[in-house]
Amino acid sequence: MTQSNAKTRFVNGFKNGVRRIKDLLNRVRSAARKTQAAPPEAVAAALADYQAALVEAGRGSEDDFLRLGRELEAIYADVNDLVAETLTTIRRTAGNDAGAEESVLVKIDGLVRRSLEDLNRRRGQVSGRLERIDAVGKRLKGLDRLCSAMERLAMNLRVVGFNIRVESARSTDSQDMFGVVSERINRLSDNVGRNAGQIREDVRDAADRQLAAGEGISLGLKRLDGLASGASAAVSGSVRDIQTLMSGALSAIEGAETHLIAISRQIGEVVAGIQIHDSMSQRISHINKALEDAAALCAPDAGGELIRHGEVDERRFTAAHSIIELQIAQLRRIISDIETGHDATQTAFDLIREEIQGLAASLLDLKTDTAGDLSGEEAARDPFESLRTDLLGLRDLMTEASDLVDRIQETADAAVATTERLEGHMTEVDGIGFEIRMIALNAIIKAAHLGETGSALEVVAQEVNILSDETNRFVDRVKGVLDGVVKQVRELDVNGTGKEEERAAGGAADLASGIAEVAAAYDRFRDASARILGRAGELESEIARTLSDLGFLPSLCHELSKLLERMEEIAAMLRPRIREDLRSSVDEVNRLTERYTMRLERGVHRQLLEDAGPSPPDPERPPEERKKSPETDELGDNVELF
Amino acid sequence: MAKRIMTADDSASVRQMVGFTLKQAGYSVVEAADGREALDAIAASPVDMLITDLNMPGLDGIELIREVRKDPQCRFIPIIMLTTESQEGKKKEGKSAGATGWIVKPFKPDQLLAVVKKVLG
């Protein structure tokens, strides 16, 4: 026990001894430092000079920030104009511009589809004509057979006429009475035979012409089928080109809108960056007030009489030094924030420039040769050029088809003219029928007058009557066939009237006008694209100028860095006079928190003093503890609606 | 007719950015560099909304709100504090004075516009 107490006493005595030696050494060192330290008045004067320089640095940059704001406003206005012009150009081209007249593309789409329908309808009509011409041909063949029957009838009449002449020769009375009849029958027989021959000749001529017309139409129809197939391909090509343009336009519109959203986001970054001036000004103001406190602590009249070597002074200098160190940290943070803001603003402008390039390039989504220097395969992929080529091809096909239909019409007209001649025979055939009936009646009456002597002639007269009936039947059949042929041929003519030709001419004119509209739209698009690309280039130059104007931010950082060095030098002036062991007991530093208006300032304060002593209370609720409505949450952490 | 919004801030750059943001969205903007100027301008011609800073020379944001709320014409207009201040105590003070909401700077344009749209209805 005694040994243990002795040991404890020895340890304590040793510790006290060490402490005394350390204290002595501290005093010696402190005395040595104080002999090298600047006078406190010099520190206070340096702080006063410094404050003026810091205020000047903060104020000096305001004009630069305001100029940046004006440049941003101008750029955004130009961007909006550019986007509006780009969207208008695309919408006008694609034709989905609200309130605009029917778009060129939609109009062309309808036009090419109608053209194909017209062509197919006309092909159907031509095909119908061919069928009618075939039908006329068949009827004409029937007429040819009737002509043979008529010729046989003429022969029979001649035989009957001969018989009458033979029988009437038996008596003078008979001869007187039937000589004329016989002559009339012979003349009629000649007439019937001549008519039959003439009709046959005309029928064969008409049939040949109809056949030729039919062959011509048939060949034309085959050619028309080829044209229709080509036109169908041209229409499909045109529709595909239109769809490509429409789809390109849609994607270009979506692209332009995406670029605008991205630009707006970057504008937002610059807007936030510009606000650093306000934050910097407030923080510099707080630094200045803190430095005033530090200067007051160093001034000879701060605490009454200055005791240069007492502990009271050491505590005051330590407090002043801590305040300055804290302001060094605050200023360092301001410089860092400006550097970050500069980088963010520079990046934002770079991204805006890229988005503007993308916006202008969105016009190229339409895959048009805006620069006019595409050639070969590249030009072939240009849907505008391709559409124009397809439309030109379609117009040529339609013109060719129209010419072909005209030629078919001419053929049909010629066939009609030939067949009309057959109509003239109907009167003559009618006359023959009437005359033979008159002769038959006359012969029967005369035979009756002759009584018994005329009995043989009566038989022959009855024969004439039978032939008359037969002739009338033939006449009716010939008339019926001729009538049918003429009607059918006239129908051919009716179906090919000028209305169709007008429509065909109208279709070709519409296509020509459509091609002109496409060309005009293309020219407008090219002009607008060139203008937009030019404006985009100007805007890029404007942004490049603004980017070079951002140089004031590094200059500001440089200026503040020099002020930071000066503040560090001032702190160094005080350092020999401070006592590390007193740092935790200075209240002046924690009182600074009352001036803070920003989370940033409190954060810097807390971080610096974390190890030096108790942290100041946090007057802000951590974000996770804030009770916010979901609606307010959407607005962001820095927004609270009451 | 465009809604008329006043921005009161002693920082010209903040007034500029608030004005830029609101004008782009079609609002009419009136600027005041401090609370007194804002109060005089509102008395001369009422506004549909007030966006004010907290710390301003002369009449500060809280005082400005109290004064504005005394005017029967302005009793129900939305008032948003736009400030670097984020202390809960200050927010409570602002709310008691009659503020409708609080935005801590820096703001982003779409954020400010969302708030304006929300409170103006």
Closest partner residue to A621 (CB to CB) among B16, B83, B88 is B88
Tell whether B46 is covered by a domain.
Answer: yes
Name the residue among A495, A547, A578 with its Cα closest to residue A294: A578
Distance from CA of A332 to the nearest CA of B (A): 19
CA distance A37 to A33: 6
- Cis peptide leading into B106, omega within 30 of 0? yes
Most confident stretch, A180-194, A300-314, A444-458: A180-194
CB contact at 8 A, B34 and B119: no
Tell whether B73 is covered by a domain.
Answer: yes
Tell whether B98 is covered by a domain.
Answer: yes
Q: B13 and A274: CB-CB below 8 Å? A: yes
The radius of gyration computed from the CA coordinates of chain B, to the nearest angstrom, equals 13
Q: Is A272 on the interface with B (CB under 8 A)?
A: yes
Q: Is A120 on the interface with B (CB under 8 A)?
A: no
Q: A268 and B109: CB-CB below 8 Å? A: yes
Q: Is A438 on the interface with B (CB under 8 A)?
A: no
Q: Looking at the predicted structure, is the pLDDT value of residue B36 above 50?
A: yes
Q: What share of chain A in percent tops pLDDT 90?
A: 19
Q: Is A81 on the interface with B (CB under 8 A)?
A: no
Strand partners, B83: B104
Closest residue on chain B to A68 (Cα): B13
Q: Is B91 on the interface with A (CB under 8 A)?
A: yes
Q: Which of the pair, A537 or A8, is modelled with greater confidence?
A: A537
Q: B108 and A268: CB-CB below 8 Å? A: yes
Q: B17 and A282: CB-CB below 8 Å? A: no
Predicted local distance difference test score (pLDDT) of residue A83? 86
Q: B84 and A635: CB-CB below 8 Å? A: no
Q: A278 and B11: CB-CB below 8 Å? A: yes
CB contact at 8 A, A273 and A338: no
Q: A66 and B95: CB-CB below 8 Å? A: no
Closest partner residue to A639 (CB to CB) among B83, B85, B103 is B103
The residue extents of the domains of chain A are: 36-96+263-369+531-613, 104-252+381-523
Mean pLDDT of B100-116: 94
Mean pLDDT of B15-31: 96
CA distance B113 to B118: 8
DSSP summary character for residue B5: E
CA distance A297 to A570: 14
Closest partner residue to A620 (CB to CB) among B20, B87, B115 is B87
Taking phi over 0 as left and psi of -120 to 50 as alpha, with beta for the rest, B36 belongs to: alpha
CA distance B119 to B121: 5
Could you say which residues from 147 to 186 on chain A have a Cβ atom under 8 Å away from some Cβ of chain B? none
DSSP summary character for residue B51: E
Tell whether B121 is covered by a domain.
Answer: no
Closest residue on chain B to A75 (Cα): B20
Predicted local distance difference test score (pLDDT) of residue A459? 82
- Which tokens hold the place of B4? 């008329």
Distance from CA of A61 to the nearest CA of B (A): 11
- Which tokens hold the place of A253? 């519109």
Q: Which of the pair, A105 or A627, is modelled with greater confidence?
A: A105
For residue range A11-66, list pLDDT tens digits in order: 777 777 667 666 655 555 555 555 556 777 788 888 888 988 888 888 888 999 99
| The CATH fold of domain A104-252+381-523 | Helix Hairpins (1.10.287)
State the total domains in chain B.
Answer: 1
- CATH label of the domain that carries residue B58: 3.40.50.2300
- Looking at beta carbons, which residues of chain B come within 8 Å of A634? 114
Closest residue on chain B to A61 (Cα): B13
Supply the range of the domain harboring residue B108.
4-115
Closest partner residue to B16 (CB to CB) among A66, A264, A635 is A66
Q: List, as own/partner pairs, every contact residues A358-362 make where C-beta atoms lie below 8 angstroms and the sequence separation is at least 24, other chains included.
A: A358/A255, A358/A259, A359/A82, A359/A83, A359/A86, A359/A255, A359/A256, A359/A259, A359/A260, A359/A263, A359/A536, A360/A82, A360/A86, A360/A532, A360/A533, A360/A536, A362/A86, A362/A90, A362/A252, A362/A255, A362/A256, A362/A259
CB contact at 8 A, A69 and B18: no
- Which tokens hold the place of A203? 């029928």
Closest partner residue to A271 (CB to CB) among B89, B100, B109 is B109
Q: Is B11 on the interface with A (CB under 8 A)?
A: yes
Predicted local distance difference test score (pLDDT) of residue A381? 59
Q: Is A310 helix (H, G, I), strand (E, B) or coil?
A: coil
ipTM surpassing 0.85: yes
Angle, helix A62-94 to helix A104-168, in steps of 10 degrees:
10
- Which tokens hold the place of A429? 């055939």
- Looking at beta carbons, which residues of chain A come within 8 Å of B49? none
For residue range A384-440, list pLDDT tens digits in order: 777 778 778 778 877 877 787 777 777 767 766 766 677 777 777 778 778 887 888
Q: Is A550 helix (H, G, I), strand (E, B) or coil?
A: coil
Interface test with B, best of A269, A597, A625, A632 (most B CBs within 10 A): A597
Q: Is A62 on the interface with B (CB under 8 A)?
A: yes
Query: What's the distance, Cα to Cα, between the start and end of chain B in Å?
Result: 15
CA B12 to centroid of chain Cα atoms? 14
Tell whether B120 is covered by a domain.
Answer: no
